A and B are shown apart, each in its own frame.
Chain A
């Protein structure tokens, strides 16, 4: 029997607000344990939560970006459970009435094959603190609690069970990460836990519509980890079902090092969270006018921009995707294109020199000293024949190091292209004179050696010679020699 894979993802994104979801404490990463706490997030007796408006705005941004219906009325609820890193004994979340409903994200598992993954809901909640066991300063059976993270605003994005393969799950997650970064609402770092993903997965015979028994996968710390864990689980469930067995509904923890998922201890599963509306918070009312305002302030979204680039600029799908992966680079490209009428050349510059440089320096586009105006200027210098293409790359690196303007860099490096025929005539003549063997073979009919002479001449000029002029001169001189031979 053939099986179809059915996957749904629950993605948690920590919102990059300045303060926590329900109090004024900072959420800066890496501060000394428990230094970013106050009576409210410590759950002291008598304190009350106050909703962070920016967090609500971020949730609305995400909701709008993935086509959700923003709910004018939503309700915070308490999810009750005991754990030492949960100071109040409940987490404030949204349950029956979340802030966003519906929506979708398109993924492209194969070029040209578009799949719509529906989003069930997005809701706001607060993060718990951290239990720390494995630091050197902690003795064997102790656990210490760090409540800095406690109260950090989160959105949970819950998909419908529309994902049909681990690869689609990866692509969906990739899209979500791109989107939260694009919107500036989360840094999307899975390793640090600012983006987290749990997966529900089940199989069913191809052609049927009922959902099979699912398992829940947790503890994946990277996007590839999610794909690998799901691949593992597809295989495991397929084996069970193929042998006529039954999948047990349970939670599995992904062990990245061992490359397998192991069941979580059964006891922790029988939770009844006893959700009920949080009486400390009034319903969250989101005004329509405000939603419109937030919608108008959204940047052009990645897919829209990509489509515009392929249509208007003639970029290939692949190039457009590479350039559009990161908002900073995408905007950079847009800035370059605004000042040049050659988007394809601009694209090549960014995918070549700019990305290489960022990669080498392991830095972000905002730290690059070469500004978009410099790139468009360089393109113009090459087009006008002021510098050669290869010299322009040297100029690029110089700007990246010094922050000089392109004109100043060209001058400093002495890379202004030589196009003067009389000046280059002597150089070309010298190349011919210095290579008698090659000349003999060329005159004997080995046309391919023309390129050799061009290369030698360019080298002799240290890249400054205008290759077009060099080629013209060489062709003229070599043809004259051939004719005099015959």
Chain B
């Protein structure tokens, strides 16, 4: 993609000279390899799509190109978006730019690392249960997950359709706002995209926090949270209070059920979404020259990695006759309750603040053999997607090992503008407070 980017850059230079450049002219963007780009290899971090070239481009890619952004490359990821450490890529792990011994977070680890290491100014990722916010936290960059339906999913290779949403990595709120503005909006090719006006996020930045009510859920600050993260949050709250915001103690008791509901729903959807990778029409086929069933089994057994297979099996199980009500339907009920719980919470505050992750980036290999431990690292990020809400992870200094800390803000649906304003405010004021 490098050559075509250079070519495009020359073209954009001319456009700039002629005064006709798009809003993202000069913006260098990396794109997670889960988004389709026409005639470009689109692997989803999977062996099964190792040689797959997409016949079409994702809506978000088209929208970036329309505004003259320069897409410089595809980024590595956990296979099909399944993972929290980026160790689940068929093409090797991504390493954390702050410490190559540590994971960058996942599943959009490549996009987070690309922005953290300044290979790109912004990057697109996708967030199903935290796949943008968690790596953003671990890599010390901004990571926004917009409201479900704000950004078209057409061309985003589905992991869990009711949770997937394209997200943005950047160094600052302004870049994030510009990209969000460009990629948002109704798309007739995505029935779940919402037909509502897109505010001009970038020109709306700038705020005063006086009177702002920030909710702090008590459930986010129990055992398991790394001490330095707690400290940073306390400092941030103090700063906000000093400047006129009020900190509201709130309760989100269903947080504990988030992981269970999330992993039932996302695996159920994944088991169906990933059925198309069967070796028949595209992607790798492993044909033992026996019968169709063997071709399916070999192709999928060897084409998918361990975590993907684990989730397909789990999802197949929860949708099976006799288990559907006990698992899938119950998880959907929990999801509805979580949504209600957020609705009620937003009656008492304008925004919810908490940690993005329970710990900073752990070491490569540390949790890979303990899927449950790995899943639990998503505890703070899975509930916003279950409720369809926008959330952002903001870099908030480092821990004693020098690893970045992320703080998460969650807003009511379609309030990305508020998230970005407060993000900008926090970034400005944290510097002056030396946070």
Binding site for B on A (CB under 8 A): 39, 42-51, 78, 80, 82, 84, 87-90, 145, 272, 274-276, 278-282
Contacts and interface: CB of A to CB of B under 8 A. Distances in A.
Nearest to A80: B272
Contact of B275 (A49, A50, A80): A80
Given A45-B52, A84-B292, A145-B280, A281 B269 contact: no
A82 B272 contact: no
Contacts of A279: 160-162, 192, 269
Contact size class for B? 35 or more
A406 B435 CA distance: 99
Contact of A282 (B189, B191, B269, B321): B191
A275 B160 CA distance: 16
23 contacts: A43-B281, A44-B56, A45-B36, A45-B44, A45-B52, A45-B282, A46-B155, A46-B156, A48-B153, A48-B189, A50-B188, A80-B319, A87-B276, A87-B281, A88-B275, A272-B320, A274-B320, A274-B321, A276-B324, A276-B328, A279-B160, A279-B162, A279-B269
A280 B276 contact: no
Interface in B132-173: 153-158, 160-162
Contacts of B281: 42-43, 87, 145
A42 B36 CA distance: 15
A300 B281 CA distance: 47
Interface string B280-305: 11100000000010001000000000
A47 B154 contact: yes
Contacts of B189: 48, 50
Contacts of B56: 39, 44, 47
B276 A276 contact: no
A45 B42 contact: yes
B117 interface: no
Contacts of B251: none
Nearest to A39: B56
B55 interface: yes
A45 B33 CA distance: 12
Contacts of B58: 46
A282 B54 contact: no
Contacts of A84: 278, 280, 292
Across the A-B interface, the 9 shortest Cβ-Cβ residue pairs: A89-B275, A279-B162, A279-B161, A274-B319, A45-B157, A46-B157, A46-B155, A43-B276, A46-B36
A131 B59 CA distance: 32
Contacts of A78: 272
A45 B49 contact: yes
A44 B54 contact: yes
B308 interface: no
A153 B128 CA distance: 31
Contact of A50 (B162, B191, B271, B321): B191
B35 interface: yes
B272 to A, nearest CB: 5
Contacts of A90: 272, 275
B318 to A, nearest CB: 9
A48 B272 contact: no
A46 B154 contact: yes
A82 B297 CA distance: 11
A49 B191 contact: yes
Contact of B276 (A88, A275, A282): A88
A150 to B, nearest CB: 11
Q: Which of A44, A48, A87, A281 has the most CB of B within 10 A?
A: A48
Contact of B191 (A45, A46, A51): A51
A157 B320 CA distance: 26
B39 interface: no
Nearest to A49: B191
A84 B275 CA distance: 11
Contacts of A46: 35-36, 42, 54, 58, 154-158
Contact of A276 (B158, B275, B319): B319
Given A87-B276, A282-B192, A274 B269 contact: no
B292 A48 contact: no
Nearest to B317: A274
Q: Which of A45, A89, A145, A281 has the most CB of B within 10 A?
A: A45
Nearest to A22: B191
B22 to A, nearest CB: 24
A47 B49 CA distance: 15
A182 to B, nearest CB: 31
B190 interface: yes
Nearest to B322: A272
Given A48-B189, A87-B281, A82 B157 contact: no
Given A82-B275, A279-B162, A280-B192, A45 B280 contact: no
Contacts of A282: 191-192
Nearest to B328: A276
A280 B192 CA distance: 6
Given A274-B316, A279-B161, 14 more contacts: A44-B55, A45-B49, A45-B158, A47-B154, A80-B319, A82-B296, A88-B276, A274-B271, A274-B319, A274-B320, A274-B321, A276-B269, A276-B319, A281-B192
A89 B272 contact: yes
B268 interface: yes
B191 A274 contact: no
Nearest to B152: A48
A48 B268 CA distance: 18
A48 B191 CA distance: 8
Contacts of B192: 48, 279-282
Contacts of A45: 36, 42, 44, 49, 52, 54, 157-158, 276-277, 282
Q: Which of A39, A278, A279 has the most CB of B within 10 A?
A: A279
A80 B54 CA distance: 24
A276 B316 CA distance: 11
A89 B190 contact: no
Interface string B234-266: 000000000000000000000000000000000
Nearest to A23: B189
A90 B278 CA distance: 12
A118 B49 CA distance: 49
A141 to B, nearest CB: 9
A11 B244 CA distance: 67
B190 A48 contact: yes
A78 B315 CA distance: 14
A445 B280 CA distance: 91
A281 B272 CA distance: 14
Contacts of A50: 188-191
A148 B319 CA distance: 30
A48 B275 contact: no
Contacts of B153: 48
A484 B208 CA distance: 130
B186 to A, nearest CB: 12
Contacts of B160: 279
Contacts of B278: 82, 84, 89
B240 to A, nearest CB: 37
A48 B276 contact: no
Contacts of B162: 279
Nearest to A272: B321
A281 B282 CA distance: 25
A280 B191 contact: yes
B368 to A, nearest CB: 26
Contacts of A80: 271-272, 275, 319
B324 A48 contact: no
Q: Which of B52, B157, B192, B275 has the most CB of A within 10 A?
A: B275
Interface in B165-223: 188-192
B345 to A, nearest CB: 25
Contacts of A274: 271-272, 316, 319-321, 324
A44 B280 CA distance: 12
Contact of A39 (B55, B269, B280, B316): B55
B55 A281 contact: no
A282 B58 CA distance: 20
A43 B188 CA distance: 18
B281 to A, nearest CB: 6
